Chain A
């Protein structure tokens, strides 16, 4: 359902439609930060609702919240800490993948760091579960890798 953009060009908003059919509004300056969106605007024009097939209504509001803060130049360490505080590991991952899809660089970098922080001191099985990947090593490769990390002296139990 296409919506009319507001008439004054200075506060132009863009309509975004998520993969599950919901529509959100963002300011044109925020949209600029998401290169994918900007490209679509360039192609389709800014009066049309931009479809984002791979982003869903669960995560898009959070992304919009981030960039709303960004265009006012108010992103601080405290804001960033607060932003991720209540997100569980999966939510961060989903946001991260969405930021990648949207080519939203700043958010992408920030979430990269956050994921890295969450992965610190975690076991191999945890990492696999987190990313949803499966073990595809040969036994020889596995034991070589185990040998290579034998030096890392951890408090956590190696669960393999």
Chain B
């Protein structure tokens, strides 16, 4: 017996087994030669031990207790039992996992390349869940093709830099589209719904189970916040992930700034579709970066995070953009201070421009629309949205509609000149034009152009508001109704709460409509 112990000890240094004389008579009977089959010896022992589990009347705890009582008190049997128990449990769990893996390979006969075909059709969130089902799926789900279109948008801030980095890394050069940030649930496709910026704050506060004191951030783990470098993985790995990126949509990333955004854009020369909402970046700087880096761009949707306060756009920026990005077909600049002369450069200059949205812009009067119909840039317009532009003059709109009646803008399919406050009257911003005293040839346009959808919703003074929809097309349903409850642009409530960590002046009241700088129409307006 001693001999057996010695050989066991030599081969398996970790496991000295004191074999009590009362048990394993069969192992004693085996008595192998010292150099032969020590492993088999152990396996026999194990097998015997495990077969004990078949015996219903056996109680291991009692036997163990008896054993302890029969041994001298300083024997370390308990520790050995703990150690052996632990070893056995680990081994059993490992084998159990192996068994599960084998089972899985029988039950799911598809090879990886067919499996990740399904996975590549899943949205990013579902992909995370599927990859946690079993190790084979986890492996399949790591294929770059599954990460081609990353949608990391959430209702409340939950994604952190690490998540973004991991996903981008997995995509590698297969990355084609990336959506990142916080998007409220009610946001629908842009161009036909309200500005997403002002609704975000309210949505965040109202979202269930969300607390700014989220436990995770307190635990010292990386906080659930995207920092300014969240897009730096696009430039990583020699710029491979960004190189073929086609679509980049960013929403309400509090900490992102101009430098980091421009850095990200410099890594994306193939960008076709750029959407930026509620990011604290300057219009001019961003457009310059697009000009410099994204020459293929076709769609640009830019919604300001500081409605009405970004007045950075310069004429030169517009010219450069027009020259460097000739493929632009869709341009949306919402919530900025835009001057007619600059806007004119844009609208005239882009030869392929079809879709224009300058909703919620300040300063533009509509002057830029003059004589647009008979030149290259303007005539191709199919959609023109000038919703809630505070300084849009009724007179200019009338002029424009007249041009349409005269046969210009033949391709225009959708025109939205609605205004919550009514259009501006000529001489005085205080006076608004309401539908009841409107001189606009709306009905004539509707008759002359039955193919066109004309939306011109204005408040009326003391009478029913008439809407002049050309057709009640339920497919493109506009979400506008009377001034909505979730924060209008012209009231400042959403504004002042928005810039708390920017410290850019937490003015209460009329900050939305005060212009300290020179503009062509430099008037104060109190609402």
A contact residues vs B (CB 8 Å cutoff): 97, 100, 109, 112-113, 115-117, 119-124, 127-128, 131-138, 141-142, 145-146, 148-154
Contact = CB atoms under 8 A, between A and B. Distances in A.
Given A133-B134, A136-B101, A151-B158, A121 B126 contact: yes
B134 A134 contact: yes
Given A136-B97, A150-B216, A153-B156, A131 B107 contact: yes
Of the listed residues B118, B155, B158, B163, the one surrounded by the most CB atoms of chain A closer than 10 A to its CB is: B118
B134 A136 contact: yes
A28 B461 CA distance: 73
Contacts of B119: 116
A124 B122 contact: no
B114 interface: yes
B100 to A, nearest CB: 4
A112 B119 CA distance: 9
A8 B224 CA distance: 70
Contacts of A124: 129-130, 132-133
Of the listed residues B100, B109, B128, B154, the one surrounded by the most CB atoms of chain A closer than 10 A to its CB is: B128
B132 A153 contact: no
Given A149-B132, A150-B158, A133 B125 contact: no
Interface string B87-109: 00000010001101101100111
B154 A149 contact: no
A122 B126 contact: yes
A148 B126 CA distance: 12
B154 A136 contact: no
B122 A148 contact: no
A119 B134 contact: no
B98 A119 contact: no
Chain B contact residues: over half helix, strand or loop, or mixed? helix
A149 to B, nearest CB: 4
B200 to A, nearest CB: 15
A154 B98 CA distance: 31
Contact of B133 (A112, A133, A154): A133
Nearest to B159: A151
Interface stretch (B24-32, B135-143, B256-264, B369-377): B135-143
Given A132-B108, A137-B97, A153-B156, A120 B133 contact: no
B104 A133 contact: yes
Given A127-B133, A136-B97, A152-B128, A116 B118 contact: yes
B128 A136 contact: no
Given A120-B123, A133-B137, A134-B100, A148 B108 contact: no
A148 B129 contact: no
Contacts of A146: 132
Contacts of A113: 121
B107 A136 contact: no
26 contacts: A112-B118, A116-B118, A116-B121, A117-B121, A120-B126, A121-B126, A122-B129, A128-B133, A133-B100, A133-B107, A133-B133, A134-B100, A134-B103, A134-B104, A135-B134, A136-B98, A136-B104, A136-B134, A137-B97, A137-B135, A137-B138, A138-B97, A148-B128, A151-B152, A152-B128, A153-B154
Given A116-B122, A153-B156, A123 B136 contact: no
A119 B224 contact: no
B129 A152 contact: yes
B493 interface: no
B361 to A, nearest CB: 33
